[in-house]
């Protein structure tokens, strides 16, 4: 059986069309962020990972059938050996017009080394995780990190012409006292800032019910100090955006816990082992490794079957944060 001669879009059982693929190239990371993983992690053996060529072939299938945005994630994706070869391969879809955007989410520690090459591959923007501007707090949150490397990576990305967006996990306590400084820091450098609610993914050794912060309550608190105006802006993801009048900058809010956004979900996630997850907040996944190694026809059939079974919504519940809703750590798929 040949591949679709007139490719039909990848549509789930609720009529949602998948146009966004998040592709994890590794589960490894050089940090151990407290909201993301345990302090002592066991990572996958390298033999279990798909080759970069296989990841590119699967990406080709998704792009051929309607995916217009592809984000490379991890773990920390820039840790994957020869990952720039994958970027160079995928960049041909930008040149052909088949792909609108090729992007990256990174913790920023290796960004200074790769920023120029990313720009040469057609990457126009990157998301960098940064939860505080305080070097000591950064070390505590990441357990291993040096904030100076991240700030250098941000500078290098901007110098290379990349648009940078900062991703920050909101939490109770010190973050609430620092969020204004993060807004000023990001907007003062022409960067968007997106705040993200902590999600109950994987066992980290900490009680998330003590740290989770509802962005609804945070927004109300910010509105006492900043003039916030809702803005119609679509980045292809789940964020809702506000314009901060005092800075002129954009503030994004991703609130899976307090404000469900599943009705408009247009994305799926592919792990570095070739498992397709159609919902971040659900355990269900489908293996694409074995079908791909048989044929692309078999892989496409597996993709279509999986997407048709995509759940209507995630399983997260703000009232049940003490225990993980999903055993998989955030580092497996990049959030």
Q: What is the pLDDT of residues 159-216, one digit of tens each?
A: 999 999 999 999 999 999 999 999 999 999 999 999 998 876 666 666 666 677 888 9
DSSP 8-state assignment for residue 3 = P
Confirm whether residue 265 is marked as ligand binding. yes
Residue 104 covered by a domain: yes
Q: What is the pLDDT of residue 245?
A: 98
Confirm whether residue 33 is marked as ligand binding. yes
Q: Name the CA radius of gyration of the chain, rounded.
A: 19
Confirm whether residue 19 is marked as ligand binding. no
Lowest average pLDDT, out of 9-18, 220-229, 262-271, goes to 262-271
Residue 207 covered by a domain: yes
Q: What is the pLDDT of residue 49?
A: 96
**Position with higher pLDDT, 50 vs 332:** 50
Q: Is the CB of residue 260 less than 8 Å from the CB of residue 313?
A: yes
How many domains does the structure of the chain reveal? Answer: 1
Residue 114 in tokens: 């790769």
Q: Is the CB of residue 279 less than 8 Å from the CB of residue 311?
A: yes
Residue 11 covered by a domain: no
As a three-state string, the secondary structure of 85-126 is: HHHHHHHHHHHHCCCCEEEEEECCCCHHHHHHHHHHCCCCEE
- pTM > 0.85: yes
Confirm whether residue 36 is marked as ligand binding. yes
Share of the chain above pLDDT 70, in %: 86
Q: Average model confidence (pLDDT) for the chain?
A: 90
Distance CA 175, CA 81 (A): 34
pLDDT level of residue 291 (50, 70, 90 thresholds): very high
Confirm whether residue 330 is marked as ligand binding. no
Residue 185 covered by a domain: yes
Residue 12 covered by a domain: no
Report the CATH number at residue 121: 3.20.20.70
Residue 6 covered by a domain: no
Confirm whether residue 124 is marked as ligand binding. no
Residue 324 covered by a domain: yes
Tens digits of residue pLDDT in 36-90:
888 888 889 999 999 999 999 999 999 999 999 999 999 999 999 999 999 999 9
Confirm whether residue 262 is marked as ligand binding. yes
Q: Which of the residue ranges 157-166, 194-203, 237-246, 317-326 has the most confident prediction, judged by mean pLDDT?
A: 157-166
Residue 116 in tokens: 């120029």
Distance CA 79, CA 20 (A): 23
Confirm whether residue 37 is marked as ligand binding. no
Residue 149 covered by a domain: yes
Q: What is the pLDDT of residue 326?
A: 66
Confirm whether residue 199 is marked as ligand binding. yes
Task: Report the pLDDT averaged over residues 310-321.
Answer: 69
Confirm whether residue 149 is marked as ligand binding. no
Confirm whether residue 71 is marked as ligand binding. yes
Confirm whether residue 219 is marked as ligand binding. no
Q: What is the pLDDT of residue 92?
A: 98
The DSSP code sequence of 21-33 is EEEE--S--S---
Q: Say whether 223 sits in a helix, a strand or coil.
A: coil
Q: Is the pLDDT of residue 1 over 50?
A: no
**Domain that includes residue 199, residue range:** 20-332
Q: Is the pLDDT of residue 8 over 70?
A: yes
Confirm whether residue 165 is marked as ligand binding. yes
């Amino acid at each position: 059986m040949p591949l679709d001669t007139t490719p039909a879009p990848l549509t789930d059982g609720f009529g949602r069309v998948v146009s966004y693929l998040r592709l994890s190239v590794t589960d490894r990371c050089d940090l151990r962020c407290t909201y993301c993983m345990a302090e002592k992690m066991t990572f996958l053996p390298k033999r279990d990972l798909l080759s970069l060529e296989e990841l590119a072939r699967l990406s080709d299938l998704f792009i051929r059938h309607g995916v217009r945005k592809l984000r490379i994630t991890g773990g920390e994706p820039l840790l994957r050996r020869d990952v720039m070869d994958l970027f160079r391969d995928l960049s041909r879809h930008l040149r052909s017009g088949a792909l609108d955007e090729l992007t990256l989410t990174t913790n920023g520690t290796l960004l200074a080394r790769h920023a120029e090459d990313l720009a040469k591959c057609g990457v126009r923007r990157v998301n960098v995780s940064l939860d505080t501007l305080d070097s000591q707090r950064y070390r505590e949150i990441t357990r291993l990190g040096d904030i100076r490397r991240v700030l250098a990576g941000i500078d290098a990305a901007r110098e290379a012409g990349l648009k940078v967006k900062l991703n920050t996990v909101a939490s109770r306590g010190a973050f609430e006292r620092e969020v204004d400084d993060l807004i000023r820091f990001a907007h003062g450098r022409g960067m968007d800032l997106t705040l993200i609610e902590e999600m109950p993914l994987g066992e980290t050794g900490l009680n998330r019910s003590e740290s989770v912060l509802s962005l609804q309550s945070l927004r109300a608190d910010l509105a006492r100090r900043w003039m916030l105006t809702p803005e119609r802006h679509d980045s292809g993801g789940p964020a809702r955006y506000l314009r901060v009048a005092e800075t002129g900058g954009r503030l994004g809010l991703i609130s899976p816990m307090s404000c469900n956004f599943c009705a408009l979900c247009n994305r799926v996630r592919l792990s570095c082992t070739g498992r397709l997850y159609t919902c971040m907040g659900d355990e269900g996944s489908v293996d694409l490794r074995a079908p791909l190694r048989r044929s692309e026809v078999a892989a496409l059939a597996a993709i279509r079957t999986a997407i048709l079974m995509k759940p209507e919504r995630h399983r997260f519940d703000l009232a049940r944060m003490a225990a993980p809703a999903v055993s998989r750590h955030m580092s497996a798929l990049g959030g």
